[in-house]
Structure 1
Amino acid sequence: MNTVLSDKAVKELQKKGTPYTRKVLRHTQKFQTTPDKLFPLLCPTTEFDWMDGWHCELIYSQSHYHEYNAIFKTDYFIPNETWVISHFEANRIIEFVRVSEHLSVKVDARLCDNLNGTTTGTWIVNATALTPQGNQALENMNPDDEPIGILLDALDYYINNDKIKPLPEGIFNKK
C-alpha cells in the first residue's frame, strides 16, 4: 500500500503542531442502586425527572429514550450543543459526543455493578477545542469547578429521595 501522501501530510501536521487543546476530566461516584435502575436515568428524556431545569430537543430516537445513535440538542451546558449517543450498552456503558461552535465534548459513562445493591459510575469527559475561543474556554476551565460532580450528586439525591435536588443558581443555562 502506497502511503507516501498521507505520510507527507502527517509530517507537515507534526511540524505545525496541534492548534487546539484538550482537557480530560474524570469523576467516579458510588450510587445506592443497581445498574438496571441507574442506567435508564442517563437519558435525555428521563433527565427531565431528576435534573433541575433540564431541557432538550429530541432530534431523533426511535424509542424517544436513549439508544445508539439517538440525537438531541440542548442549551443547558453550552449554547447550541448537538449530542449524539455514540456507544450504548444497556446498564453498562453510554457515550455521548457533544458538539457546539467552539468545543467538542465526549462523555464516557461506565457503570460497574458492585454486586451488593450499589453501582460505581465513572465518567470520563474529553473536552476538545475546535476554535481559538474553544482554546480560551478550556484554558479558563478549572476541573474542580466543573459541574459533573454537582450533577451526579443531584442524580444520587433523586435515586435516594425520588425528587429533584435544586441546583446552585447560575450553574447551568436553566430555562
Structure 2
Amino acid sequence: MNTVLSDKKVAEMQQAGPQYLRRVITHRQTFQTTPEKLFPLLCPTTEFDWMDGWHCELIYSKSLYHEYNAIFKTSYFNLDETWVVSHFEPCRVIEFVRVSEHVSIKVDARICDNLDGTCTGSWIVNATALTAQGNDALAQMNPENEPIGILIDALDHYINHDEIKPLPDGIFNKKG
C-alpha cells in the first residue's frame, strides 16, 4: 500500500505542531446512592429535576430520555451547543459529544457500583478548540477551576435532599 501522500501530510503536521488547543478536566465523586438511582439523573430530560436553570431542546430520542444517539441542544455555560449521546450503557456509561461554533467537548461519564449502597462517578471532559476564538477561550481555561464540580455537587445535593440546589449566576443562560 502506497502511503507517500499521507506520510508527507503527517510530517507537515508534526513540524507545524498542534493548531488548536485541548484542555482536559477530570472529576470523581462518591454518591450515597446506587447506580440505578444515579444514572437516570444524567439525562437532559431529568436534569430539569435537579439542575437550577437547566434548559434544553430535545431534538431526537425515541424514549424522550437519554439513550444511544439521542440529540439535544443547550445553551450550556453560555455556549449554544448540540449534544449527541455517542456511547450508552445503562447504569454504567454515558458519553456525549458536544459541539459549538468554537469548541468541541467530549464528556465521558462512568458510574462504578461500590457494592455497599454507594457508587462513584468519574467524568473526563476533553475540550478542543475548533477555531482561533476557541483557542482564546481554552487558553483562559484553568481545568482545576472549571464548574463541573459545582454541577456534580448540585447532583449530590439533589440525591441527598430531594431538592434543587441554587447554582451561581452565569452558568446557564436562563431562557425558561
**Superposed counterparts of 1:1-175, under 5 Å:** 1-175=1-175
Q: Residue 32 of structure 2 contacts residue 160 of structure 2 at CA under 8 Å; is this kept in 1?
A: yes
SS of equivalent residue, structure 1 residue 158 = helix
- Separation in 1 of the partners of 2:106 and 2:78? 14
- Separation in 2 of the partners of 1:145 and 1:173? 20
Q: Residue 76 of structure 2 contacts residue 171 of structure 2 at CA under 8 Å; is this kept in 1?
A: no
How far off is 1:115 after superposition?
A: 0.3
- Separation in 1 of the partners of 2:71 and 2:94? 13
- Report the AA paired with residue 6 of structure 1: S
- Give 4+ residue runs of structure 1 displaced > 6 Å after superposition: none
Q: Which runs of 5+ in 2 are unaligned?
A: none
Q: TM-score, normalised by structure 2?
A: 0.96
How far off is 1:174 after superposition?
A: 2.6
- Separation in 1 of the partners of 2:119 and 2:174? 29
Question: Alignment length, in residue pairs?
Answer: 175
Q: Residue 72 of structure 1 contacts residue 82 of structure 1 at CA under 8 Å; is this kept in 2?
A: yes
- Report the AA paired with residue 28 of structure 1: R
SS of equivalent residue, structure 1 residue 88 = strand
How far off is 1:17 after superposition?
A: 1.5
Q: Residue 21 of structure 1 contacts residue 129 of structure 1 at CA under 8 Å; is this kept in 2?
A: yes
How far off is 1:8 after superposition?
A: 1.4
